[in-house]
């Protein structure tokens, strides 16, 4: 499998990043370990997580995903084979949020402990913090890099203006964001395409989009509002409209032509985007993992792309 350079970093990653948001939530410890084992055995190497996973779910406090990934890497002795991407800055409790120096530094330390590692390959600001000057945030990232706790800094959910300001402020003791994690998929294109994508391309940023399957909508399993139950279903419901149905029909035609699934088509489309390094997709079972990993073998031609993007 051909690896891809992650932007201007010296990190090489396979063309699909495993989303860790489900670990400890909809995938228990044993299932998570099995998925991680199979992912690595198949030749893939990058895992995305965040300290806040899965604080959004009932009964969760955050840190569950990082804990499982850390335990798995330690148990299997594979830390040196994994590119770990994690994020900080979203609320983790009273007074525990943001990108100020004191909190971001302590959040990084907490992630290191949960991940059972001495460094994070890509540490990201989970979203911009308007209450903290970007210069201060980048100085904090640089101190973490200088201390060997972080290899590269990145950001998620930044607008084009926020990313442009961060890139302009880099240098002179301030880290430069090298990787962007945007919300981007076939059903949700406007937020990234245009100014943000152009900025990433012009500045050589690695791009690892999340929600590659639009919270499950692009698997084709949600076609009626009553199909969309639970937390993920409620997010997928946003796409159950005439435009969404036309997209699913186009995906179905492309999938049939290649003997593929909707999920594989959705992920392969992201892989085909010139600005995208590797999309992020999660799996809650070995069957789901097997399905999404086959995306790396699917090659969409110009006719396919025109049908999907039309």
Residues contacting 9, CB < 8 A, separation 6+? 122, 151, 152, 178, 179, 206
The DSSP secondary-structure symbol of 54 reads T
Residues contacting 302, CB < 8 A, separation 6+? none
pLDDT of residue 1: 85
Question: Where residue 301 falls among pLDDT bands split at 50, 70, 90?
Answer: very high
| Cα 304 from Cα 296, distance rounded (Å) | 16
Q: Which 3 state secondary structure label does DSSP give 83?
A: strand
- Residue 310 pLDDT > 90: no
Residue 95's alpha-carbon distances to 137, 208, 253, in angstroms, are: 17, 29, 50
Angle, CA 216 vertex, CA 212 and CA 221 arms, to 5°: 135
pLDDT of residue 46: 98
Name which of 133-137, 218-222, 269-273, 288-292 the model is least confident about.
218-222
Buried b (16+ CB within 10 A) or exposed e, 260-285: bbbbbbbbbbbbebebbbbbbbbbbe
- Residue 229 pLDDT > 70: no
The closest alpha carbon to 156, from 61, 294, 308, 17, belongs to 17
- Residue 232 pLDDT > 90: no
Question: Where residue 238 falls among pLDDT bands split at 50, 70, 90?
Answer: confident
Sketch the domain layout of the chain as residue ranges: 4-309
Question: Where residue 142 falls among pLDDT bands split at 50, 70, 90?
Answer: very high
pLDDT in tens, 243-261: 999 999 999 999 999 999 9
pLDDT in tens, 193-217: 999 999 999 999 999 999 999 999 9
| Cα 162 from Cα 168, distance rounded (Å) | 10
Question: Where residue 236 falls among pLDDT bands split at 50, 70, 90?
Answer: confident
pLDDT in tens, 68-117: 999 999 999 999 999 999 999 999 999 999 999 999 999 999 999 999 99
Q: What superfamily does domain 4-309 belong to in CATH?
A: NADP-dependent oxidoreductase domain (3.20.20.100)
- Residue 228 pLDDT > 70: no
The H helix count followed by the E strand count for the chain is 11, 10
Q: Which 3 state secondary structure label does DSSP give 152?
A: strand
The closest alpha carbon to 239, from 227, 263, 222, 254, belongs to 222
Percent of the chain with pLDDT over 70: 97
- Residue 231 pLDDT > 70: no
pLDDT, the chain, mean = 96
Residue 301's alpha-carbon distances to 265, 272, 278, 304, 305, in angstroms, are: 12, 9, 18, 5, 6
The DSSP secondary-structure symbol of 27 reads B
Structure tokens that stand for 16 in this block: 């699909």
Question: Where residue 233 falls among pLDDT bands split at 50, 70, 90?
Answer: low
pLDDT of residue 240: 92
pLDDT of residue 225: 72
């Amino acid at each position: 499998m051909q690896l891809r350079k992650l932007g201007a970093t010296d990190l090489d990653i396979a063309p699909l990043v495993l989303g860790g948001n489900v670990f400890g939530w909809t995938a228990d410890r044993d299932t998570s370990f099995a998925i991680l084992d199979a992912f690595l055995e198949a030749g893939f190497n990058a895992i995305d997580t965040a300290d806040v996973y899965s604080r959004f779910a009932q009964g969760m406090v955050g840190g569950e995903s990082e804990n499982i990934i850390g335990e798995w890497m330690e148990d299997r002795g594979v830390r040196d084979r994994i590119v770990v991407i994690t994020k900080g800055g979203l609320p983790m409790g009273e007074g525990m949020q943001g990108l100020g120096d004191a909190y971001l530094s302590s959040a990084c330390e907490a992630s290191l402990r949960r991940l059972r590692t001495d460094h994070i390959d890509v540490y990201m600001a989970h979203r911009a913090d308007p209450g903290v000057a970007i210069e201060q945030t980048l100085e904090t990232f640089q101190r973490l890099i200088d201390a060997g706790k972080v290899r590269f800094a990145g950001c998620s959910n930044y607008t084009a203006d926020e990313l442009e300001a961060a890139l302009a402020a880099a240098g002179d003791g301030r880290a430069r964001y090298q990787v962007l994690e945007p919300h981007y998929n076939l059903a949700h294109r406007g937020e990234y395409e245009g100014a943000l994508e152009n900025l990433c391309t012009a500045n050589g940023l690695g791009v690892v989009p999340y929600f590659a399957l639009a919270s499950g909508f692009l698997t084709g399993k949600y076609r009626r509002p009553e199909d969309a139950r639970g937390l993920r279903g409620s997010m997928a419901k946003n796409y159950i409209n005439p435009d969404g149905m036309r997209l699913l029909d186009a995906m179905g035609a492309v999938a049939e032509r290649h003997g593929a699934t909707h999920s594989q088509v959705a992920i392969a489309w992201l892989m085909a985007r010139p600005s995208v390094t590797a999309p992020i997709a999660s799996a809650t079972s070995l069957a789901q993992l097997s399905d999404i990993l086959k995306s790396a073998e699917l090659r969409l031609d110009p006719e396919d792309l025109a049908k999907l993007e039309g």
